[in-house]
Chain A
Amino acid sequence: MSRLIRMDHSGHTTLAEWTADDPGAVDAAVRAFRAELDQGYFGMVSTGEGHAEQVRELPLDAELVIMRLPISGG
Chain B
Amino acid sequence: MAVEGLPELASVHWRPLVDERSLNRRGALWTATTAAHVVPFVGAGAVLFAVEPLALPVTLVSFAHAWVIPELYAHRGATVVKPKRPRAGARAETVSVGLLGDLVGHEARELHTQTGLVLERAALGAWLVGPAGALLVRPGGRRVHCYCVRVNDPELPTGDRIAHLLLALRADERGFATVANLAFSGARWRVRRRLHPAVRPALDAAARAARALDRRDSG
| Residues on A facing B (Cβ under 8 Å) | 5, 7-12, 42, 44, 46, 49-57, 64, 66, 68-74
**Chain B residues in 8 Å Cβ range of A49:** 105
| Number of inter-chain CB pairs below 8 Å | 115
**Chain B residues in 8 Å Cβ range of A46:** 103, 170
B62 sits at the interface (CB 8 A): no
Chain A interface: which of B18-26, B90-98, B195-203, B210-218? B90-98
**B3, B7, B176: residue with the most chain A Cβ atoms closer than 10 Å:** B3
Contact A73 B157 (CB under 8 A): no
B58 sits at the interface (CB 8 A): no
Q: A56-B1, A68-B168 are in contact. Are A12 and B95 (CB under 8 A)?
A: yes
**Chain B residues in 8 Å Cβ range of A9:** 88, 92, 155-157
| Residues on B facing A (Cβ under 8 Å) | 1-3, 6-8, 11-12, 80, 88, 91-96, 98-99, 102-103, 105, 120-122, 132-133, 147-153, 155-157, 159-160, 163-165, 167-168, 170-171, 176, 179-181
Additional A-B contact list (6), CB under 8 Å, known A44-B167, A54-B171, A74-B148: A11-B159, A42-B7, A50-B121, A57-B1, A69-B156, A73-B148
Q: A11-B99, A69-B164, A74-B149 are in contact. Are A54 and B132 (CB under 8 A)?
A: no
**Chain A residues in 8 Å Cβ range of B11:** 70, 72
Could you write out 16 A-B pairs with CB less than 8 Å apart? Answer: A7-B96, A7-B160, A9-B156, A10-B95, A11-B96, A11-B98, A12-B99, A42-B3, A54-B2, A55-B3, A69-B153, A71-B150, A72-B8, A73-B12, A74-B149, A74-B150
**Chain B residues in 8 Å Cβ range of A55:** 1-3
Nearest A residue to B91 by beta-carbon distance? Answer: A11
**Chain B residues in 8 Å Cβ range of A10:** 91-92, 95
**B152, B160, B163: residue with the most chain A Cβ atoms closer than 10 Å:** B160
Least CB distance from A43 to B in Å reads: 9
Contact A7 B149 (CB under 8 A): no
**Chain A residues in 8 Å Cβ range of B150:** 71-72, 74
Contact B156 A53 (CB under 8 A): no
**Chain A residues in 8 Å Cβ range of B133:** 74
9 smallest beta-carbon distances between A and B, as pairs: A11-B95, A74-B148, A73-B181, A52-B170, A54-B3, A7-B160, A11-B96, A11-B92, A44-B167
Least CB distance from B107 to A in Å reads: 12
Contact B163 A73 (CB under 8 A): no
